Chain A
Amino acid sequence: MPDSETAVVDTSLAPTGEARTTRRRLYPGHQFLVVLVTAVVVGTVVSALELEPLDLGMVNLWMVYSIIAIGFYFIFAVAGQFALSQAFMAMVGGYVSAVASPSTGVPLGIVCGITTAGVLAAAFALLMRRVTEFYFAIATLGLAEIGTIVIRNWDYVGGVDGTRIGIQPLEALGRQLRMQDEVFWGLLAAFTLALLVAAAFERSPLRRELIAVHRTPEVAATLGVPVTLLRVTVFAAGSMLAAFGGALYAHWQGFVSTEAFGLDLSIGIFIMVLFGGTSSMWGAVIGAAFYVVVPVKFEFLGGYLDVFYGGLILVLIIAFPEGLIGIARSVARRLPRRIPGTQRRAGVS
């Protein structure tokens, strides 16, 4: 890959002077490669297993949720904006694409959905640019509720009482994807695309700028980092990913309703990222799998599912705010060194 360079010599701890320059990779890991490998693995495993449509449906749902959750990862875990509008943005993507597709075809319809969400999110973030993170969170909740009510009552977009049926199925390479396994391949392609986009953001100056804007906005501003621009664009980009997922969902299911994208889902997306891990985009993917599997495996919980989720939020935020990946990393860090006396290299980031 063009952006990796072979690491030369390890860094010495000489205090000054000798210019023992070290040239590490610009960005750690091989994220693009990992994404492609993951896609190939998922494709291979799923075809080999020959799953029932029901289980295949769960895999499809996992991929849709992953896309939406990765958007939230950028907005919340990287940029520090706790927003409860993610499910609503998915809703926007779904409905707009459903309205547009009969005239424009499905791929362009999805693009319309994504664009609408992006414009809406950017306008909202711009309006709220001077507001504290807490008020911003509440305002996104307000936005989601307002938008949901509007869609529910606006028959042209929202259908009857918020439910639209008869949405065209996904299309790829000229054919419609109707069966669960056909949809799988289409969603796998979209999933891979979304992950590549996310990796592209991670492997760019945006990551450190967003963290700086999150942790110390005043310092970032003094350094010339454009705080408002970054906040607005990350919120828009994350919302556009949500809309992408929502549009895919709409065409896959053939129908959408406002209940499917309510506050419960926004909280669920938050749980995905919190559980899976806030330090990496893969946390969103892991968390999405968790969220898809839990209602099925924990069916005995019945009505207590929400109690479980609420309790999970409490436990995670109090004891494990870094999620699963964070736990894995602390465990890895505590493992003993294999060769005594060697220095452990610090990671690039």
Chain B
Amino acid sequence: MSTFLSLLASGIALGAIYALGAAGFLVLYKATGVVNFAQGDLVTVGAYLTFWGTTSLHLGVWKAALLAVVLTGLLGVVLERVAYAPLRNRPHLTIVISTLGAALMVRALLGLWLGTSPITVPTPIGLGTFDIGGVVIARQRVLIVVVAAVVVATLGWMFARTQLGRSLRAMATDHAMARLSGIRVRGISMFAWGFSGALAAIAGVLVAPLAPVELGFGFSIMFGAFAAAILGGFESLGGVVVAGLLLGVVEQTFGAYVFREYAELYPFLLMVAVIAVRPQGLFARRAHARL
């Protein structure tokens, strides 16, 4: 039983990561209507920059993580200028392809700069475990859930209460109207790209310390996050969070008992299943896919 609870706990932690990633997709989709194929690589960048911060700049882990998040956010803005802005009036698929090209460049540059062998990203909380009533949970996983909860709550508050959040929601509903009513579309677009980049980096910083990571690890996580976003209907923050947690738990619990050798295929399998079975998300009433 305690094994199951341990699995449940790590499932929740994984789900929190998926929720963070999905929130990143959601913010960008709400603001611009597109999906960034480079999102997974931004997760990797966040983790790698933390590593660089601690090893080359000799910063403390918290400072390095903060720096990583900020820099990745800036990278997001750069991507907006290079891969999105020149194509604003072209079909969505074209933009997705250009973000694919950008993802390729980002990953290649990262590999050239920091090497292609696996790295171990440090954590501020130590590598030990907590023992809560017989259930063993890695400390890092607890950190993941706590930080993710704080970030998501802040996001929710931001969407609901600030001018920025209102502008984002207006842009999501009607882009042309939003521009006419004076919302600074270009500024918001850059902000959204930067912000979703930062969210990706946070996810990367949180999940990387669990095991040595290499250049493609963010890409795999992106699939789970994307599945969560689809399952959440690309609609509300609450929806994608619930979907993310659900997927994380399913992956960890099923993955321990079914197809154990093929565990790495779970995020992809979940995503394909979601697209095939319920592309409109769990909660939507409409019968068509959103993107």
Contact = CB atoms under 8 A, between A and B. Distances in A.
Q: Is there any pair of Cβ atoms, one from A and one from B, under 8 angstroms apart in the complex? A: yes
Interface of A: 82, 127-128, 130-135, 137-139, 141-143, 145-146, 149-150, 153, 267, 270, 303-307, 309-314, 317-318, 321
Interface residues of B, number: 39
Given A128-B276, A132-B289, A318-B87, A311 B268 contact: no
Q: Which interface residue of A149, A270, A305 has the most chain B CB atoms within 10 A?
A: A149
Nearest to B261: A153
27 contacts: A82-B93, A131-B289, A132-B289, A132-B291, A134-B35, A135-B275, A135-B289, A135-B291, A138-B275, A139-B275, A142-B223, A145-B223, A146-B265, A146-B269, A146-B272, A149-B265, A153-B261, A303-B111, A303-B112, A306-B108, A307-B109, A310-B104, A310-B106, A313-B100, A314-B102, A317-B101, A318-B87
B164 interface: no
Interface in B274-291: 275-276, 279, 289, 291
A318 B265 contact: no
B275 A314 contact: no
B103 interface: yes
B31 interface: no
Contacts of B269: 142, 146
Interface in B33-71: 35
A216 B223 CA distance: 30
Nearest to B111: A303
B98 interface: yes
B141 interface: no
B83 interface: yes
B219 to A, nearest CB: 9
A139 B291 contact: no
A290 to B, nearest CB: 16
Determine chain A's interface SS by DSSP, over half rule: helix
A130 B275 CA distance: 10
A315 to B, nearest CB: 9
B30 interface: no
B94 A310 contact: no
B257 interface: no
Given A145-B268, A149-B262, A318-B86, A313 B93 contact: no
A39 to B, nearest CB: 33
Contacts of B101: 309-314, 317
A139 B276 contact: yes
Nearest to A306: B108
Contact of B226 (A138, A303, A306): A138
Nearest to B230: A135
Nearest to A136: B275
Contacts of A137: 93, 96
A82 B265 CA distance: 22
- Give 3 nearest A-B pairs by CB, closest first: A313-B101, A310-B105, A306-B108
B93 A133 contact: yes
B82 interface: yes
B92 A150 contact: no
A267 B103 CA distance: 11
Contacts of A312: 101
Contact of A138 (B82, B265, B271): B271
A306 B86 contact: no
A306 B279 CA distance: 33
Given A134-B291, A306-B105, A317 B87 contact: yes
Contacts of B262: 149-150, 153
Contacts of B265: 145-146, 149-150
A313 B269 CA distance: 28
B279 A313 contact: no
Given A137-B93, A306-B111, 15 more contacts: A128-B276, A134-B92, A142-B271, A145-B265, A146-B272, A149-B264, A149-B265, A270-B97, A303-B112, A307-B109, A309-B104, A314-B105, A317-B97, A318-B87, A318-B98
A133 B223 CA distance: 17
A316 to B, nearest CB: 8
Contacts of B226: 138
B212 to A, nearest CB: 19
A311 B105 contact: yes
Contacts of A153: 261-262
